[in-house]
Amino acid sequence: MKKGFSLLELVIVLLIISLATAVTLPAFVNFGSSSQENFENRLKTAMSSLFSFSEAIELCADFKKNAIQVGEEEIELPAGKELEYMILPGKVVSSEINSRFCISSKKLEAVGFLAKESSERYLSILVFLPSGEVTINSLSQGEGETFKDKISKGRIVEWFSFFSY
């Protein structure tokens, strides 16, 4: 009797190994990326998928769940960041007063979010509707207050000249 494996047995083993690799490899590829990067990618993908000039886009700040809702998708902020403000032209919505606030818009406007990272740092999220363009930055406390002021007064150009990207 010969010892060894048949060609069929080797092909089956290779097939099982390749299937296991195909299933687990994406998890290992994303393993090194931070929750901050995952948050940014999910938010940018959700916003770009909703791009529409004809339909209103719904955008919500869920202060209780510490998440931003884009259409039907709810995107939680990374650990250690607490959503504090949703800023619209003419309005600043605070987590101290509201547990959730939503807008539905199909006109051109900018919406900002401020999340506290630490006692001296903020995460700013600026979303342009309806295009879905998103910019995310880490700001000092003073820059965070300027961001809130410029967006609420509709002075987006002044914000970009103050804080160059």
Per the domain annotation, does 49 fall within a domain? Answer: yes
Per the domain annotation, does 110 fall within a domain? Answer: yes
Residue 1 C-beta-side C-alpha neighbours within 13 Å: 2
For 58, the token pair is 């719904």
Q: Which domain holds residue 57?
A: 35-162
Nearest Cα to Cα of residue 103 among 74, 77, 65, 129? 129
List the single range of 19-28, 64-73, 151-160 with lowest mean pLDDT.
19-28
Give the chain's domain count: 1
Predicted confidence band at 67 (pLDDT cuts at 50, 70, 90)?
Answer: very high
Q: What is the CATH number of the domain that holds 120?
A: 3.55.40
Mean pLDDT, range 136-144, rounded to an integer: 90
Per-residue pLDDT, 58: 85
Provide the mean pLDDT of the chain.
Answer: 84
Per the domain annotation, does 20 fall within a domain? Answer: no
Per the domain annotation, does 40 fall within a domain? Answer: yes
Predicted confidence band at 155 (pLDDT cuts at 50, 70, 90)?
Answer: confident
d(CA 105, CA 136): 21
Are 66 and 95 in contact by the 8 Å Cβ rule? The answer is no
Per the domain annotation, does 19 fall within a domain? Answer: no
Rounded to a whole number, what is the largest CA-CA distance in the chain?
87
Per the domain annotation, does 5 fall within a domain? Answer: no
CB-count exposure of residue 79 (10 Å: 0-12, 13-18, 19+): exposed
Per the domain annotation, does 108 fall within a domain? Answer: yes
Per the domain annotation, does 28 fall within a domain? Answer: no
Per-residue pLDDT, 32: 47
pLDDT > 90: what percent of the chain?
Answer: 28
What is the tens place of the pLDDT at every residue in 53-63? 667 778 899 99
Q: What is the pTM of this model?
A: 0.73
Nearest Cα to Cα of residue 163 among 105, 129, 116, 112? 112
What is the tens place of the pLDDT at every residue in 14-65? 999 988 888 877 666 555 446 888 888 888 888 887 766 667 778 899 999 9
Nearest Cα to Cα of residue 95 among 59, 60, 57, 146? 60
